[in-house]
Structure 1
Amino acid sequence: MLPSQPTRPQPYRAYRLPAFLLSAMLLAAVGVATVWGLREFASSSQWVEHSYQVLGEIEATVAATRTVESSARGYRLTDRSTLHAEYLTSIPGALSSAGRLVALTADNPPQNHLARDLERKVRARLTEIDRLVELHSRDPAQARIDAQTSKGYEQMRELTALAQVMRERERALLAARHARSEHRASLLTALVVLGIGLAMVLLALLMYSLWRENRRSRELERETRQALIDLEASASERHLLTERHRSLSHYAGLLQSCQNLQEAMDMTAHLIADLIPSIGGRCYILRASQNLAETAARFGEEKIVSADLLHPNDCWALRRGQLQQVQGDRGAVRCNHLEPARGGDDPRWNLCVPLMAQNTSLGLLCLSGEQPPQDADLLLIQSIAEQLSQAIVNLQLRETLRVQSLRDPLTGLFNRRYLEENLQRELLRCQRRKLPLSVLMLDIDHFKRFNDTHGHAAGDALLARVGQVLHDLVRNEDIACRYGGEEFTIVLPETDAATALKRAEQIRAAIGSTTILHLRQTFGPATCSIGLATSQDDRETPQQLLQIADAALYRAKGEGRDRVVDGNRALATA
């Protein structure tokens, strides 16, 4: 079980509910105040609009009265019927405006009193105008005299003065209403801002307290989750290590049962692919000559391609006898057998692990991947390399014993059994890689006569000397064998007919200039005949190549010996 974490008491927990209730009350009060303020604002707007209507009706009443007066005066001066009709139609407008003004000011007694006075003065003025119009209709001259002595001017001046008083009072009332609206708006704004501010402060404090407690809870939850993850990772790692140890033990047992190096390499590749599927690479085996390492097995997908054949000097791990790891262009020096880096921030990595035993290089494990390996993977790879190195030593020792049984004791060359085993392998390898392979069949001229003349001991000395010459002239990858009696066979992998013909001429010339010293006597030089055969396609067999080379050898003897005959060319011209 995980240890329980002590929780510290929260000092502000007791104040959370009161703070929440107070915040709710403040927000509710702000809402009520906002609704009341909106209603007051609507009422104030209506009263302001009412004041503007009163002012408008005052102006309309005065204007309508002046219109009646102007129409009547124009009619009296011109007697035009249109002006008389205009006069008659304008009277109801003036009376109507005065009546509406009285109705609008009904809520304001002082203004209503003035409005009624204004209405009476309007009616008085209209009555006077109507009297003059009627008089004009009967007696225009008398109407002009009465107009000069009429009180119309005084009536109109009093009417205008009264209208001005009403305007001033209504404007004062309008200003007061504006001021009251502004005051209420400012008060409402202050109340809303203060209420919301206090509520937000209380809510912020409440949220801060909750946030601190939640953060602590999340920290405890995260610590608990991380502890569980670490526990699961530890259990998974222990299980993985157990499985790897079991696999390594099983692998070590299987290595002891391998019959050859290829089996050991294939088994190693399969084990690495199963235990570390994220990496790929290949296993190399150094040839007995220690000058070339050849790919023996592959596994996974190589992220950094390595050469099929490499020289030990091309790999820093083989040079130093130590593990060599490189990632991109960083770190250690890059081995020459690897493809060039992409440049920039290349995440790919390569690992070269030398296979060594008794201070001798045996081979190489070359691995690569997208992400750098973990320490556990490195330890596993090193353990596999150690076990594989010991297995290689044992298999090579066993192979050495087997090869010794395949050597010709007189010449030191391979015997016919070795030729038959390895010619098949080399031919298939070259055919798979679309490379040529040539075979030389060599026979010492007149060897039977030399043997009969100088004795079998001298004949054996000559055969040993020819074997030494062949051993010195062939390459490390060539196979020189004593085929039987005085016949020798040389397998030249990856060699075309033209190159094989030059090599055959070199061998013929070297044997032709060789002498031997036996029992204080010098014998030689001896000559030889050579038949050549070169693989033409991927369907040829070792027996066919040997038959072609043997037929070319007999043709060389038939043509006079001490010469080289190309069997493929002879078949083409036959």
Structure 2
Amino acid sequence: MAQPSPPASPTPPPPSRLASRYRAYRLPAFVLAAALLAAVGVATVAGLRSFANSAEWVEHSYQVIAEIESTLAATRTVESSARGYRLTDRPALHAEYLASIPAALNHSSELIALTRDNPRQHRLARDVERRVRMRLAEIDRLLEMHMRDPQQARLSSQTSHGAEQMRALTAVADAMREYERALLSARDARTERNATLLTALVIGGLLLALGLLALLMLNLWQENKRSRALERESRQALAELEASAAERQRLTERHRSLSHYAGLLQSCQTLQEAMDMTAHVIADLIPEFGGRCYILRASQNLAETAARFGREAIASADLLHPDDCWALRRGRTHRSQAHDGGVRCAHLARAEAGADSGGDPRWSLCVPLMAQNTSLGLLCLSGERPPREADLALIQSIAEQLSLAVVNLQLRETLRVQSLRDPLTGLFNRRYLEENLQRELLRCQRRKLPLSVLMLDVDHFKRFNDTHGHAAGDALLARVGQLMQELVRNEDIACRYGGEEFTIVLPEADAAAAMQRAEQIRAAIAATTIVHLRQTFGPATCSIGLATSVGDRDTPQQLLQAADAALYRAKAEGRDRVVDGNKPAAADA
């Protein structure tokens, strides 16, 4: 009898069958891994925000503690200044006392503002302010009593409650400080617990997600052979996608650069700086185009090149009249191309003979810089290939941003000049004198050089004004200012001090040189007449006082006072003369 054959062992499924068996688990595994990573990310962001919030509160607590210390220190400063004044009667200590009072009040007010989020601390802060005011009132009372009767003030200070007030103020401040330190300790403990929990969550989530991703990668590697054929078919689609992504990236980068450019324009200090930046941006974003930026002069009769960029395909003039550009005439963007019969602006170089018939591809684009219906300048570009719509939109956007920046810079420059110049005479004003006399005096003192100041006053100006009218008086002052501008050096500072008084600062000029310059100015004014409303007035005369600083102890106020005193001496001696304030009067000599 035949023996039964043994059962056949089961054959293992092929790798492709194994791969397809696990294919159903890929998506859930991927979703789970993504969810874990997202959860880790959310936990990380939440933890970072929590840490940032905790850091802000810690910073807030330190600010409160700092304001507490500043309040106490400012109050003690007021107390010590007042005590020093009562002991020495020095005016400087009295001035220091008056100057330190606002600081104490400001710090106590700032402490109240910082503690609005905490009712307990806010209440204590108000108590601190109240006690600071009580202490300041007590100090002020003793100071006033000292001014009336020093002996009574000393007796009253011995029975004053100042020490008790200060101890009470310090006690309230210590309570606030201890409470803030307790808050800091609690926040540090909470932050430590959150950090430990966040670390455990992040590490556990990452390990689990990485394990799932490793299993997915193993499964995908098993199907790698089968996917190669599909990869060849998708290469072309991928290339198209990459080209699309590159174009999108280029547009995104352009928008980012344009936004960055708009922000930088707001920080430009001069028109030239804005133009140079614009040229750099255009050359960076569209390097295949070349051109230049023009700025219209204030007279609106000529535009001059302010910046260049790239290589111009069609050269443009360095200077152009607004009528030579169709864009400036019409107030609109003007584009021309040789082969399509476009009208080219007169400031552009003409094409060579026969180039137009041969289909010259070069083109030009003029974009006016306009703001509030006023022409400010021009962007002129040219290239060898026609521009894309995206390029045109970019150039238009740059022109709009630049127009706003130009009008803002021009307005800023106008305001700056108006703040430094006297509108009637064109000279610098008193504010400019006060700011620059100190600097020039210190510079000359460092270099051991002299510095002279002339104080000039038009003689009998009030009588001239009353006789001929204010308009004639203004005309006389304007003429005096013009003469001073013509007779001073570039490094001198000529200012209208006020009314009919003028001041001239002569750096590095000794008394002899200043006297010579003053005599020239006096003689020029004495020989000048003015014509107003077809009437001739003058000549007028002036008196000039001179003061010179040759040491390192003079101050601007002392120089101006010395020159003013010399001016009054010149008037007292008969006017129409120059008096050297460095020399004593004849009676004193």
Q: Which TM-score applies when normalising by structure 2?
A: 0.36
Q: Which TM-score applies when normalising by structure 1?
A: 0.37
Q: Name which one, 1 or 2, has greater alpha-carbon Rg.
A: 1
